[in-house]
Chain A
Amino acid sequence: MTAVLQTQGLGKRYARKWALSDCTLDIPAGRVVGLVGPNGAGKSTLLNLAVGMLTPSSGAIEVLGAPPATGPSQLAKVGFVAQDTPTYAGLGIADHLRLGARLNPGWDHDLAQARITRLGLDRSQRAGNLSGGQRAQLALTLGIAKRPELLILDEPVASLDPLARREFLQDLMEAVADQELSVILSSHLVSDLERACDYLIILVDSRVQVAGDIDHLLATHHRLTGPRRDLDRVPAGQHVISARHTERQTTLLVRTDGPVLDPAWTVSELSLEDLVLAYMSRTREVDNSRPTLEVAR
């Protein structure tokens, strides 16, 4: 099966600052991929590279087996809902659908019409007069009715209220169920993505910290609590993501493929949020040049 997104040492530099560096990914088809990380971590940069809005400064990127945006057929395979869901303020909803129909050979007219009807939107209304949620839904309609193989969404729900956020994700998930669509969406909040995604990429400080199926990530990360001890006594195969010590107690967050056998540890499961937060705070500790073991990817 072709990977939907494959990158090799991908990097993007603006002036002197690297917005994304050394990014190597191989995302299988059929996933709903969550791209999480704090604001400014490089999420938008990665997604814009994937749709060809940006060109790499280093490394290589392939989307559905070809370089991004190389021609009409490649463009037809990838849908993009850009950050802040831009629309033509002066054009009406019907005009937007007409635009989609004219510019996409695979345009699904019935799907688009049905969605607009279900959303209860007035077709003659100008996009500039829509609420943020309605605009996002219009942008999603354009992205879905194009019938892409991969839909990329850049912070689609960030500016929406909780209800609009929920409705947007419901519609997105329905489209995934309906169309055998692969999806990559980014958010700085893992809670937005927890239910929707089955694959997670954590991006912090322009670097990919970890990427993989969420089930696998949750199965291989554990919180260990036990009497205080030094980190160099962690067995091979276990990688410490974060470590906290009190006088008596040590709490570790480790990644390991095998079981934790040491009876001194109390092993507990992690929530996805804990896992993401651990990786996010980890880079801060690395910055403080604390001796932390590198996590193999």
Chain B
Amino acid sequence: MIEFHLDGRSGVSPYLQLVQQVRRALRLGLLAEGDQLPTVKDVVGQLAINPNTVLKAYRELEHDGLVAARPGVGTFVTRTLTDDTLAAHAALRLSLQRWLTKAREAGLDEESIEALFLTTFRTAREDIA
């Protein structure tokens, strides 16, 4: 069982924070198939948030095929995210490090690197979409 927390200053809406926390736990192996997510009442009682927010997060996770609700029992993990991409991480990190070194050599400071990365990331995402 995991415990949720909310960051009031992140600017990310509460329901999305819940979704992200479940996904992260799935990715890191904290949650495995068959594990139960906290009940809506538990989350609500702990975080003082609107039950609809929790329901919305769980619905989204369900829609993504990560969890399944069993009426009257609770919500259970059906699939983990500790997937095969983990193997590819090392190589990708290496090439990213090389890119960063090049950027520094080109005279970009940290802020410029970040801005460049983010804009490229966004345009790339839009292109894919």
Complex contact flag A–B (Cβ < 8 Å): yes
Contacts of A271 in B (CB 8 A): 11
**For the complex, is B47 an interface residue (Cβ under 8 Å from A)?**
yes
Minimum CB distance partner of B9 in chain A: A271
Interface residue tally on B, bucketed by range: 10 to 19
Contacts A176-B51, A177-B41, A198-B53 given; indicate if A218 touches B46 (C-beta within 8 A).
no
**A contact face: mostly helix, strand, loop, or mixed:** helix
Is B32's CB within 8 Å of the partner chain A? Answer: no
Question: Which residue of the partner chain B has the closest CB to A271?
Answer: B11
Complex alpha-carbon distance, A171 and B46, angstroms: 9
Q: Mark B37-51, 1 if CB is under 8 A from A, else 0.
A: 000110011111111
Chain B residue at smallest Cβ distance from A177: B51
Q: Could you tell me if B6 and A177 are in contact, using CB atoms closer than 8 angstroms?
A: no
- In the complex, what's the smallest C-beta–C-beta distance from A255 to chain B, in angstroms? 18
A188 to B61: give the CA distance in the assembly, Å: 34
- Indicate if B97 sits at the interface (CB-CB under 8 A): no
Nearest CB of chain B from residue A74's CB, rounded to whole Å? 26
Which of B6, B41, B50 has a CB less than 8 Å from the CB of A198?
B50
**B52 in contact with A170 (CB, 8 Å):** no
0/1 interface trace, chain A 29-44, chain B, CB 8 Å (1 if under): 0111000000000000
Closest chain B residue, CB of each to CB of A173: B44
Contacting B40 at CB < 8 Å: which of A32, A177, A198?
A: A177
Whether A166 lies near B48 (C-beta < 8 A) is: yes
Q: Among the interface residues B8, B50, B52, B54, which one has the most CB atoms of the partner chain A within 10 A? A: B50
Which residue of chain A lies nearest to B14 when distances are taken between CB atoms in the complex?
A: A195
Contact across chains for A173 and B45 when beta carbons are under 8 A apart: yes
Structural contact, A269 and B11, CB atoms closer than 8 A: yes
Contact A178 B41 (CB under 8 A): yes
Task: Tell me whether A195 and B11 are in contact (CB under 8 A).
Answer: no
Contact A173 B11 (CB under 8 A): no
- Measured in the bound complex, the distance between the Cα atoms of B52 and A31 in whole Å is 8
Contact present for B6 and A195 (CB under 8 Å): yes
B51 in contact with A171 (CB, 8 Å)? no
A196 CB within 8 Å of chain B: yes
From B13, B40, B50, A218 is in contact (CB under 8 Å) with: B13
Q: How far is the CB of A164 from chain B (nearest CB, A)?
A: 12
- Considering the complex, give the chain A residue whose CB is closest to the CB of B44: A173
Q: Is A169 an interface residue (CB 8 A)?
A: yes
Q: Is A197 an interface residue (CB 8 A)?
A: yes
Contact A196 B11 (CB under 8 A): no
- Least CB distance from A33 to B in Å reads 11
Partner of B49, one of A31, A195, A218: A195
A171 / chain B contacts, CB cutoff of 8 Å: 45
The reply to whether A195 and B53 contact each other, CB–CB distance below 8 Å, is yes
A174 at the interface (CB under 8 A from B): yes
Chain A residues close to B by CB (< 8 Å): 30-32, 166, 169-174, 176-178, 191, 194-198, 215, 218, 269, 271
